[in-house]
Chains A and B, each alone.
Chain A
Amino acid sequence: MKKKLISLLMTVAMAGSVLMGSSIVSAAENAETETEAAAEETEESADESTGGGTSDGLEDVSEPVTLSLMVTTRPSTDAKDFYLDWLPELVHERFPNITIEVEQLPTDQYKQTVRLRFASGEGPDLFTWWAKKQAEDLVQAEYVRDLSDFNLLDKFDASITSAYTFDDKVYGLPLGTSFLTTWYNKDMFAEVGYDTYPTNWDEFIDVCQKLKDAGYTPITCGDNSSFVIQFAMYQIGASEIYAENPDFDNQLYTGETKFTDECWVDTVSKLQYLYDNGYVVEDSLGLSQDQSRQLFIDGEAAMIFDGSFGYTQLMNEGAADFERGMFCVPSNAEGEDFVYNWTSANALFTSNLSDELHQQACDLVMQYWFDESSPLFEAWVENTTDIIAFEGVSDSREMINEYLDRYKDFQNIDNLNNAWPEGVSDEMCSRFQEVITGDATAEDVCEAMQAKFEELAG
């Protein structure tokens, strides 16, 4: 009988391994309660220590300390990486008592790991995170420190810093900006009679048709990596939704607007139009983002929906040699307002759960990092792939500067999903894949987004 009982227990336990992923849950919650007290103790001293001057007169921490830094995985190059190489090296050189251990993870795993570590009371001392709604839960759970007193805060572009401001308190130091854009092959455009980029929807469709008629594939999209669907959708949505109602996202939460509103249905319909008319590469659902980028740089397609963050990959040499350009998809009709996408990329956050010594060390690192005369600042400016939004610093890439200068007088809008609960954008991408296969309509996508929004925001 006992043997049977033990066997039964073992069987249940073995089968239970299916659910082991959830084991973190209980451990996490216990640890969360324990660390709240520690966080409260250190909060006061942390608020005091974020002030200070330039890094010249800063003294090292009193004893050796190891800071954990978490960042998302970025494309690797032969050059030294800022986060993996320069930051730990230069900080340790300046402050011998401070050692930085860097951990990088792909975006999805990164999000879950950071959240779960905070929930278990062991969040990273320093980490990068995204703006607005995406940072809201971390702020509300008091996992991140208020950096409003950081003395170099006014050096950051205030309009970007506002994306990390909650209840008038700043929680993140913006590390840069980026924009979603459409890269295009200027040579192909010139061949079909376009010496410049389109400025309204009709011109955009016209150039697509002319490219198609000339035997070129107008647009490539790696829709197998479903998140890339956002790149086109948010460019189209910028003018379609926000030109008339910049407050659309806030109104989603009050019920005044819905994803099923006409402006959203039109946004999805316009993207669908590009697929239905054969402007997007055939079999895009089988192509990954990398494979699609390769098609563009090989001159197999005239345009690709991507972003400023794709600069390094898309400027690589491929099978064809051609001049690149960028424009934001103009979904506006001729004479109507145009809105383009320009968004905060991410920001540096510090943990509210770290002890006093770690928080002091974090302050030193931040002071040193954002001191314009420090070698660390120089390394950051030289190596970042984002567009730095810091006083007196301009981007070294001519194309990027030209792009931002071109659109500077127009209204701009963040990545649309910054205002939504996590999961709505995934629903949009999944459902739009069904539009591509012909199994759903634009209305279905909008209804699914609204249903998901209500489920997640409720």
Chain B
Amino acid sequence: MIDKRIRNVLLIFIIPALVFYVVFWISPVLMSFYYGLTNWRGLGTYDFIGLTNYENLIKQGTLFASMGNTIKYTLFVVIWGNVQALALAMILNMKLRSRGIFRTVFYIPALFSTIVVAFLWSYVYAPHYGMISEIFELLGLSGAPNLLGDRSTSLFAAAFVETWKTSGTMTIIYLAGLQNISDEVIESAKIDGCTGWQAIRYVKIPMLSNTITVNVMLGLIGGFKSFDYIFALTSGGPGDSSSTLMYTIYKMAFVEMQYGKAEALAAMAFVFILVVSIAVLTIMKRKELEA
């Protein structure tokens, strides 16, 4: 046990960091809740307008539309991102020739900046000049999909780019998890009569539960704060079909100059993300224990 006096001295050393944290993190968050109750436009004076901003966000449908898009985006990123990364990790964990080269190649997307990735993919998706439409043309097919220009696909097209960019990182994490499963465990499963799929379903995946939690949480965070690919690829469109919470907050504050309203939406986004994150983390932890 640390002596009480020493512990008190140590606590004093924490104070500067704590002050920094409170001034630059906690108080702005609390202040933002306050500004959400005003009609501040970024410049000049403002009035206290109570819950009008919250009321308008609900009445105008902005809250639910952007929240719905965020949920869809997040689900895609979490589900497809993890399936893709887990599959890649299992392939890269096999005893392949040139395995090192493959591992390097699949990690490359993670090295590009977001804006470069978005620019590249804008040309992949582009009708007329794009890679997808060129492939269709080469195959003699007509009707290449206009993924960014279609209301039903633009959100997922942007989310797919996010999973492409993060696939390397998630794969590495899964790979590390797979390498922690000893060969003896797999060997004994096989002796007990496990087929390849059964070994994955009943041995490997349960033993990866910690890793899955990490990757699910990474996907969840990436999905909830989805902004950059939406900004660069769709600008929230067509219409508002791909406007996520973060993009809507950005547009409201910095395009329409409705800082007060944007703060109100940010406050609601904060509560929503906090509740969902805690719920998912709790469920995942329980699953880990069961596994």
A22 touching B32 by the CB < 8 A rule?
A: yes
Closest to A24 in B: B28
Interface 1/0s, chain B 241-263, versus A by CB < 8 A? Answer: 00000000111011111110011
Chain B residues with CB below 8 A from A15, complex form: 270, 273-274, 277
Contact of B235 (CB < 8 Å), options: A226, A291, A422: A226
Contact of B129 (CB < 8 Å), options: A225, A226, A294: A294
B31 touching A22 by the CB < 8 A rule?
A: yes
Q: Does A18 contact B (CB under 8 A)?
A: yes
Q: Does B9 contact A (CB under 8 A)?
A: no
B151 touching A19 by the CB < 8 A rule?
A: no
B44 touching A16 by the CB < 8 A rule?
A: no
A300 touching B44 by the CB < 8 A rule?
A: no
B26 touching A16 by the CB < 8 A rule?
A: yes
Closest to B245 in A: A18
B239 touching A18 by the CB < 8 A rule?
A: no
Q: How far is the CB of B214 from chain A (nearest CB, A)?
A: 16
Q: Does B172 contact A (CB under 8 A)?
A: no
A422 touching B44 by the CB < 8 A rule?
A: no
Q: How far is the CA of A202 from the CA of B44 in the complex (A)?
A: 49
Chain A residues with CB below 8 A from B26, complex form: 9, 12-13, 16
Interface residues of B in 136-172 (CB under 8 A from A): 146-151
B35 touching A22 by the CB < 8 A rule?
A: yes
Q: Does A1 contact B (CB under 8 A)?
A: no
B43 touching A456 by the CB < 8 A rule?
A: no
Q: Does B27 contact A (CB under 8 A)?
A: yes
Q: How far is the CB of A426 from chain B (nearest CB, A)?
A: 6
B256 touching A224 by the CB < 8 A rule?
A: no
Contact of B270 (CB < 8 Å), options: A16, A137, A440: A16
Interface 1/0s, chain B 5-19, versus A by CB < 8 A? Answer: 000000000000000
Contact of A433 (CB < 8 Å), options: B128, B239, B267, B277: B239
Interface 1/0s, chain B 59-73, versus A by CB < 8 A? Answer: 000000000000000
B28 touching A437 by the CB < 8 A rule?
A: no
Q: Does A295 contact B (CB under 8 A)?
A: yes
Interface residues of A in 417-454 (CB under 8 A from B): 421-423, 426, 430-431, 433-434, 436-437, 439-440, 452
Q: Does more than half of chain A's interface fall in helix, strand or loop, or is it mixed? A: helix
A291 touching B267 by the CB < 8 A rule?
A: no
Q: How far is the CA of A434 from the CA of B241 in the complex (A)?
A: 9
Closest to A20 in B: B28
Chain A residues with CB below 8 A from B146, complex form: 283, 285-286
Q: How far is the CA of A282 from the CA of B239 in the complex (A)?
A: 17
In the complex where A224-B148, A291-B129, A440-B239 touch, is A19 in contact with B29 (Cβ < 8 A)? yes
Chain A residues with CB below 8 A from B24, complex form: 23
Q: How far is the CA of A423 from the CA of B41 in the complex (A)?
A: 12
A18 touching B273 by the CB < 8 A rule?
A: yes
Closest to B236 in A: A430
Q: Interface size class for chain B?
A: 35 or more
Closest to B123 in A: A291
Q: Which of A26, A108, A283, A436 has the most CB of B within 10 A?
A: A283
In the complex where A282-B127, A285-B148 touch, is A25 in contact with B259 (Cβ < 8 A)? yes
Chain B residues with CB below 8 A from A23, complex form: 24-25, 28-29, 31-32
Contact of A18 (CB < 8 Å), options: B35, B151, B225: B225
In the complex where A422-B257, A423-B257, A430-B239 touch, is A19 in contact with B126 (Cβ < 8 A)? no
Q: Does A98 contact B (CB under 8 A)?
A: no
Q: How far is the CA of A141 from the CA of B258 in the complex (A)?
A: 16
Q: Does A284 contact B (CB under 8 A)?
A: yes
Q: How far is the CA of A69 from the CA of B99 in the complex (A)?
A: 52
Q: Does B122 contact A (CB under 8 A)?
A: yes
In the complex where A21-B266, A285-B238 touch, is A437 in contact with B150 (Cβ < 8 A)? yes
B267 touching A26 by the CB < 8 A rule?
A: no
Chain A residues with CB below 8 A from B238, complex form: 223, 285, 433-434, 436-437
A423 touching B28 by the CB < 8 A rule?
A: no
Contact of B29 (CB < 8 Å), options: A16, A223, A284, A288: A16
Closest to A424 in B: B256
Q: How far is the CB of A284 from chain B (nearest CB, A)?
A: 7
Q: Does B269 contact A (CB under 8 A)?
A: yes
Closest to B231 in A: A108
Q: How far is the CB of A454 from chain B (nearest CB, A)?
A: 12
A115 touching B28 by the CB < 8 A rule?
A: no
Chain A residues with CB below 8 A from B270, complex form: 15-16, 18-19
Chain B residues with CB below 8 A from A108, complex form: 254-255
Chain B residues with CB below 8 A from A281, complex form: 128
Q: Does B42 contact A (CB under 8 A)?
A: yes
Chain A residues with CB below 8 A from B211, complex form: none
Q: How far is the CB of B108 from chain A (nearest CB, A)?
A: 24
Contact of A224 (CB < 8 Å), options: B28, B41, B149, B267: B149
A287 touching B126 by the CB < 8 A rule?
A: yes
Chain A residues with CB below 8 A from B40, complex form: 25
Interface 1/0s, chain A 274-309, versus B by CB < 8 A? Answer: 000000011111111001001100001000000000
Q: Does A84 contact B (CB under 8 A)?
A: no
Interface 1/0s, chain A 15-58, versus B by CB < 8 A? Answer: 11111111101100000000000000000000000000000000
Q: How far is the CA of A452 from the CA of B255 in the complex (A)?
A: 13
Interface residues of A in 111-135 (CB under 8 A from B): 111-112, 115-116, 118-119
Closest to B274 in A: A15
Chain A residues with CB below 8 A from B258, complex form: 423, 456
Q: How far is the CA of A140 from the CA of B29 in the complex (A)?
A: 29
B127 touching A116 by the CB < 8 A rule?
A: no
Q: Does B125 contact A (CB under 8 A)?
A: yes
Q: How far is the CB of A447 from chain B (nearest CB, A)?
A: 13
Q: Does A138 contact B (CB under 8 A)?
A: yes
Contact of A19 (CB < 8 Å), options: B128, B250, B259, B267: B267
Q: Does B21 contact A (CB under 8 A)?
A: yes
Q: How far is the CA of A18 from the CA of B276 in the complex (A)?
A: 14
Q: How far is the CB of A114 from chain B (nearest CB, A)?
A: 11
Chain B residues with CB below 8 A from A21, complex form: 249-250, 253, 266
Chain B residues with CB below 8 A from A455, complex form: 56
Closest to A227 in B: B235
Closest to B250 in A: A21
Q: How far is the CA of A109 from the CA of B228 in the complex (A)?
A: 13
B128 touching A13 by the CB < 8 A rule?
A: no
Contact of B128 (CB < 8 Å), options: A12, A16, A225, A287: A287
* Closest 6 pairs between A and B when the two form their complex, measured CB to CB: A285-B149, A423-B256, A23-B28, A286-B149, A283-B127, A16-B29
Could you list 19 further interchain pairs (A-B, Cβ under 8 angstroms) beyond the known A20-B25, A137-B257?
Answer: A12-B26, A16-B25, A16-B26, A16-B29, A21-B253, A22-B262, A22-B263, A25-B40, A112-B254, A118-B43, A137-B43, A141-B44, A225-B235, A283-B146, A284-B149, A285-B146, A285-B238, A286-B150, A439-B151
